[in-house]
Structure 1
């Protein structure tokens, strides 16, 4: 089975298996393999994302590191055509567990030929907690660099799971720079850079299609910051399309908060707000996503859109979701905040929509 890792920007192949960015242009790597999706090869005895192992890259599928992530609920509290995907119903309470399971499985495959004592990650909280959990399960150390002032509950979750938290003065990007200084026997596996993290997110697309009895929604609303969720969903649906499972990709609507809207501004050619401002949705305060060019390119290929929402709209959306029984953090509520502006259009039609809710509200109490 063929598996290739190369730079999305310049096309140069990855050299060393531990490289996390292109040595030629500094771009992010992307992953391609020839595994197509086949309904007949779903492992029905597995009630997690690894039921789709046959459609994942060869280097991670042989001996996966899993805590039972995936197979999250898809519910319809409003009308039958409006679906909420509860990605916060996960081992560490966020969608990041799909990506963490995949990237730590890749680390396990590397350990056969290279001494790795631990991994290093940069995060505002959710990814750090997630990668820590899977690293602890594998039995290796995890160091997480976070911006000083990160949400306390998320930092405590990292520590409770066995991670070593390193606070960094400055922004989210400053924390990333410190993490990227990691040296042997520690391996930097930053989720925003790792193509294997995105590989794990692809299973979300597979899961939604299976839950909808092999049909696709007309539109999917999801929050966007570093773009791993967005790209994983797009690449997942592209795999389904190339495999002949579906006839077209759904429309993707990426949602950002107004205070930090780099993807939105770039997508529409607007002056960027790359300032010191941060928004209420702490997990979305990423001002310089490393995959920005890839995000814009792939979103345009599938005819997607980018929306922004105000602080007051996010708070109201979170409250409404709570009244429907879904307790999510503000970073998850942004998707519904944008969708609710079109709510009546969907209520009075048969158009299928999926809103992805990414993180539990328990993380930010």
Structure 2
């Protein structure tokens, strides 16, 4: 959005409403059409009067400014991802505000919700006091999303999260009548696809799935998908599941049952980094040296620390990318490291690019 081409300064107007139609309704429709058109967001922002300011006409006049909120976890359990989100957004805003051809400035306001719903609600209310607020990025957790949506929806302020993944069936206030929450990321259970594709491309016909039922619905959906559409399905591939109950940590027995099927690849499906590490250790202890992989949730430093050498060679499907592996993100990665004082060899944090 920040990189949209900037149009000439524009003021939106609406024709006089026909008989029986309120002017307010016509203005709302006119604004919606303008936003939908090419470059429409820029036109809408230019035509809007932020908190009583004009549009900055005249040489040397101050530009109008608009606020983007970042509602994220800077002190709680997901603070690493939250900090990366805030840093990536701040870098984008600073780059935009440095453009000589910009028609308005963007102000970034970062709010720490600690990964908690009540704090996210309070932070959203604080952001709403800013009359220039046009949208909010975040939060990092599902409780944070649920709470923030409830505060923002009546004000039609959009909330966009690339980190939180709201499960199907979760009620988000007001989203049945108007859409204000957007989640431009795949669902967690679809993160089986990258490793499954890796196995298919290597012709793996027998895949064993260690099904960690501690993961609840997410695990159930993912395992069901793997059994219905296993790697190398067109070539006769099959997937078997071997459960570990939520109140058990006996991964050794599940791995033993999995290896009895002579698998060519093993996938752990669950949400716990610690339990994934137990699975990795059991596989290593029982001598499996084929490809192993998992979904995004267990892919944390905790998994690496607890699994130790057993983590070597594992594959993970994620909803974030390493910008060093994308030619188009080379400039971003360099600017990010420079802005935040990171050595050249230090990886850019997950979700900073997104």
Structure 1 length normalisation: TM-score? 0.32
**Structure exhibiting the larger radius of gyration computed from Cα positions:** 2
